[in-house]
Structure 1
């Protein structure tokens, strides 16, 4: 009797899994891809880079990104990256962040999308504000758009073309 119950339980859980998958008709379903990176603003780029190097991570050299007002360092992880951000120039948005957060901290998360223009249109249609009218080329040489943190649960989100 117990084995018959197990078969029915297994059959019902399989039905639930199939019905849940087929019910993903949300307009943004399939829009978001994998997590590309978590960005951390740091007042001391060398110290932060050394921290990850000492843990055995592959850490890039600092790259100036004058058009974005930052230096970037990428820490490669098996399933994602960490982007270390440090101010570059007097008008750096990272300096403004560090003025409020002296020790640094998480600045934003970056999520890949299969079609950046479609993603921007979709989020705007949902009332989510973007920080800019047009996409820009980000640190990876791909089109990006930032979403307003007040519309995203207090988190600055960067969408990046796959």
Structure 2
């Protein structure tokens, strides 16, 4: 069911400062900030060739990233994103095994314009998992 690792997401308290570290210290190419109001975040991506790193900053006070940063003020790894061939088939298979899909269970458009779902971290060894339609 799982395809390749699409990205590792890191929550950051200051997207501009974090972007500068990746760009200026590590020499990475960093995309322009992209607000995603449906997910309550602003993101940038660092393309590593075989995968990406996503830096996330809260967009508004109700952002789920704001709650994460309240517990982890310096930021940290937030989730991993795996590609799946068919997100509906994957969702239904996971639900049939007892895995919990967050939100209303319906895919939303993610940062790449493709459908995404999030899976409860307690069902995946403490890691928030995002699935993205390949």
**TM-score normalised according to structure 2 size:** 0.96
Q: How does 1:5-44 map to 2 (within 5 A)?
A: 31-44=1-14
Q: Any idea what the Cα deviations from partners look like across 1:7-40, whole Å, max 9, x if unmatched?
A: xxxxxxxxxxxxxxxxxxxxxxxx1000000000
Given the alignment, which residue of 57, 61, 65 partners 2:32?
61
Query: Which portions of structure 1, spanning 4 or more consecutive aligned residues, are displaced by more than 3 angstroms?
Result: none
Specify the alignment match of 1:3 in structure 2.
Answer: none
Alignment correspondent of 1:73: 44
Matched, 1:97 2:75: no
**Partner Cα distance (1:79, 1:58) in 2:** 14
- In the alignment, the residues of structure 2 paired with residue 92 and residue 147 of structure 1 have an alpha-carbon distance, to the nearest angstrom, of 17
Unaligned 5+ segments in structure 2 are none
Aligned match for 1:45, one of 12, 15, 35: 15
Q: Structure 1, residues 104-159: CA drift from partner, whole Å, max 9, x if none?
A: 00000000000001100111111111002211111111001100000000000000
Q: Which has the higher contact order (CA 8 A, sep 6+)?
A: 2
More moved, 131-140 vs 141-150: 131-140
Instruction: Report how many residues are paired.
Output: 132
- Cα deviation code 1:42-66 (max 9, x no counterpart): 0011111011112121100111111
Structure 1 spans left out of the alignment, 5+ residues: 1-30
Alignment match, 1:15: none
| TM-superposition CA deviations, 1:60-118 (whole Å, max 9, x none) | 01111112111000011021000000011121110000000000000000000000011
Structure ID, larger Rg: 1
Greater CA drift, 145-154 or 62-71: 62-71
